[in-house]
Structure 1
Amino acid sequence: MTLSFGVSALTSFLIIVWFARTKKQRFKRNDTSAVQAAHLNPTPRIGGLAIVIALLVAAALSHGADNWTAFVLLLVSAMPVFVVGLAEDLGYLASPRKRLFAATVSGAVFIALTGQWVLQTGIPVLDIALHWTPFAVVFSLFLAVGISHAFNLIDGLNGLAGFTAFAAALALAAIAHQTALTEHRDILLTIAAAIIGFLVFNFPFGKIFLGDAGAYAIGHLLVWVSVAILWSAPDVSPFAMLLIFFWPIADTLLAITRRLSLGKPIAQPDRLHFHQLIMRGVEIVLLGRKRRRIANPLAALFTLPFVFAPMIAGVMFALDHRAAAMACVLSAVAFIATYKTGMSIAPKLRRSGFSKTVRTASSEQRTAAE
């Protein structure tokens, strides 16, 4: 785990140095002009490369360990989506459809290599359908691809996706430990260590970003380890796993619903994600729009308690199906209520912030005249 952290941190540092010495004209994309951009300066977005290199090195040097085979198969399965995501990060613009297809291929590779997929969901009717293997495999792929994509959608603030992935890895490791799945636990702790190595430079000031390669690859790794845990420990509640991934899933479903209701394509970016509303609130109420360098990580800190709370419940109720299901319902209600409240007060904050700016400007003009 120390090795994974060190390689990830060192590789992230080398990427930052390389990017600083490379002329910006050589890069094919300008992320600062994107609709959903929350940063002001060009930044390397290949932090996922540092994490994957760290995991590959850790796997190479752990040959002979009990979990080595499972770890290698997991990493091999992640390569299709990682490579396609990296192409997007380097400016070769792999479309969302291609990235989703690559995530599907990665999931299919995992199933082919391990023979594991989702066997139960805790929903009786659906669980009956899952007895038919072809349906179970397709359902597993659909679920995993959606969660992998969800990690990419929440990658909008410094540290948000990274800390979400880190916390999810630790939560899954805790569940694996509860059920004596030490191989799964050790793999997850290695993944968590690699993510922290990246976060050293990602948070708070965003010297490097996770990128599509990192978000999709981490989402893939975590979701399929969770599938492996459910496969090996059927006493674990599927609702507990849903709580671990609650925030990415909830934010993605909300984005889909929002865009459909507005008559917009599902894949069209916008600035109405939960974390984006929080950042705008921080800018308007606390800091002003010219201090985004501080507002960005501060908004991430305000968002993370909402992310961590369902995960804590997932670990607590991992073996209590009814309590985990109830926690999912309460988390959904809290998420929707909080978002709707934020949307309702956002216009008022905007007007308040504008009025304050006007009053300040008028006061300064009067002072200058006097």
Structure 2
Amino acid sequence: MNTDMLLGFGFALVLTVILMPLFIPLLKRMKFGQSIREEGPQSHMKKTGTPTMGGLVFLIAIIVTTLVVALVTDLLTSEIMILLLVLFGFGLIGFLDDFIKVVLKRNLGLTSLQKLVAQIVIAVVSFFLLNSIDFDTALSIPFTSISIELSGLYVLFLIFWLVGFSNAVNLTDGLDGLVAGTASIAFAAFGVLAIFQDKMGIALFTFTVAGALIGFLVFNKYPAKVFMGDTGSLALGGALAVVSILLKQEFLLLIIGLVFVLETLSVILQVGSFKLRKKRIFKMSPIHHHFELSGWSEWKVVTVFWLVGLVAAVIVVSLEVV
């Protein structure tokens, strides 16, 4: 990691750590507390009222740090602007969802259709922006020289990828520190890949995100003083998907983001099994709740999932850079 990357990482971390203690009391005064689902694990009911929408803080830290450092180091590129647009766009969707649930007291927030349409709009806008910089619309097969040209059909893949991973990270955000830890590992891993591709602007962005998330983790680790909310999780998922696209390492996200993939698969399998067989595969989904109900402490589940994410990321990076 060179000096520019360290500057982004460190500045975002420090900015998040400084802003969060100012933001948490504000959230409490405004009664922006988390509502816990009654059908969730009973041990989570004690989290009711914990301030949420903390993702706003690290999103501000990421955007400010990326723009300032990129300008100072002459790394401000079209790719960075696309990443910031997606981060902001998906964060805005999450913010509206959180605002409706927390402030307006409508538990369901945005409807599934409203969220889907908004996510698709951002994905389509991203496709046109990528086309404006003469983007390669071929899909690369990991660890091979094979690529599949999609041309105009790439927009369909882009929609699927952004919607899928934004929702996957959102599903994973159910335990204290789980997403902050796994996402920081994933962004850092792509940061290393970006450096080896000499895509320093993308590397700056990824390490800035990782730094902001580590700063957030100080307050979000168990027992959490604040949650990121959909504001943070949707933004992180969308941005992570675009990073993999810009680096032309789309399918590597399935391994680097293995925890997010497994969490999503557990929900799909659970719902499918119950509809087809009237039987559940897991005690509860997403799968992190299954381990909780199997007797694991929340902290054990989180640390094991972090380890899974770290091992997957290290394997991918090792294979790619050798």
Same fold? TM cut 0.5: yes
Please state if 1:301 is matched with 2:308.
no
Contact 2:27 2:52 in 1 (8 A): no
Give the helix-richer structure, 1 or 2.
1
Please state if 1:222 is matched with 2:240.
yes
Q: Within 2, Cα distance between the matches of 1:205 and 1:147?
A: 26
Aligned to 1:40: 46
Aligned to 1:65: 73
1:278-330: per-residue Cα shift (whole Å, max 9, x none)?
Answer: 222335xxxxxxxxxxx32332113322222222211122268xxxxxxxxxx
Larger Rg over CA atoms? 1
What SS class does the counterpart of residue 282 from structure 1 fall into? coil
What SS class does the counterpart of residue 294 from structure 2 fall into? helix
Report the Cα offset of residue 34 of structure 1: 4.1
Aligned to 1:122: 141
1:24-103 alignment, distance < 5 Å: 24=31, 31-36=35-40, 38=44, 40-41=46-47, 42-62=49-69, 63-69=71-77, 70-90=79-99, 91=101, 93-103=109-119
Letter in 1 for 2:294: G
Contact 1:160 1:300 in 2 (8 A): yes
Aligned to 2:264: 252
% identical aligned pairs: 25
Name which of 280, 292, 317 aligns with 1:279.
292
**What is the number of equivalent residue pairs in this alignment?**
290
Report the Cα offset of residue 162 of structure 1: 0.8
Q: Within 1, Cα distance between the matches of 2:230 and 2:59?
A: 13
**Residues 208/30 of structure 1: CA separation in 2 closer, same or farther (3 Å cut):** closer
1:60-97: per-residue Cα shift (whole Å, max 9, x none)?
Answer: 42325333233233212333321121111122511233
What SS class does the counterpart of residue 199 from structure 1 fall into? helix
Per chain length, whose mean CA-contact separation is higher, i.e. which structure has more relative contact order (CA < 8 Å, sep 6+)? 2
**Residues 36/12 of structure 1: CA separation in 2 closer, same or farther (3 Å cut):** farther
Report the Cα offset of residue 118 of structure 1: 5.2
**Residues 247/86 of structure 1: CA separation in 2 closer, same or farther (3 Å cut):** same
Aligned to 1:368: none
What SS class does the counterpart of residue 295 from structure 2 fall into? helix
Letter in 1 for 2:287: F
Name which of 3, 8, 15 aligns with 2:23.
15
Aligned to 1:106: 122
Letter in 2 for 1:147: F
Letter in 1 for 2:254: L
**Residues 188/132 of structure 1: CA separation in 2 closer, same or farther (3 Å cut):** closer
| Larger CA deviation: 61-70 vs 77-86 | 61-70
Contact 2:162 2:238 in 1 (8 A): yes
Contact 1:282 1:299 in 2 (8 A): no
| Larger CA deviation: 6-15 vs 201-210 | 6-15
Q: Within 2, Cα distance between the matches of 1:83 and 1:120?
A: 29
Contact 1:67 1:187 in 2 (8 A): no
Q: Within 1, Cα distance between the matches of 2:88 and 2:270?
A: 32
**Residues 50/39 of structure 1: CA separation in 2 closer, same or farther (3 Å cut):** farther
**Residues 311/60 of structure 1: CA separation in 2 closer, same or farther (3 Å cut):** closer
Q: Within 2, Cα distance between the matches of 1:275 and 1:77?
A: 27
Aligned to 2:3: none
Q: Within 2, Cα distance between the matches of 1:138 and 1:319?
A: 30
Report the Cα offset of residue 134 of structure 1: 2.3
What SS class does the counterpart of residue 44 from structure 1 fall into? coil
Aligned to 1:180: 198
> Structure 1 regions of 5+ residues with no counterpart?
231-235, 265-269, 284-294, 321-370
Please state if 1:201 is matched with 2:219.
yes
1:189-212: per-residue Cα shift (whole Å, max 9, x none)?
Answer: 111111111111000211111211
Contact 1:9 1:50 in 2 (8 A): no
What SS class does the counterpart of residue 110 from structure 1 fall into? helix
1:158-177 alignment, distance < 5 Å: 158-177=176-195
**Residues 104/190 of structure 1: CA separation in 2 closer, same or farther (3 Å cut):** same
Aligned to 2:279: none
**Residues 30/215 of structure 1: CA separation in 2 closer, same or farther (3 Å cut):** closer
Letter in 2 for 1:99: K
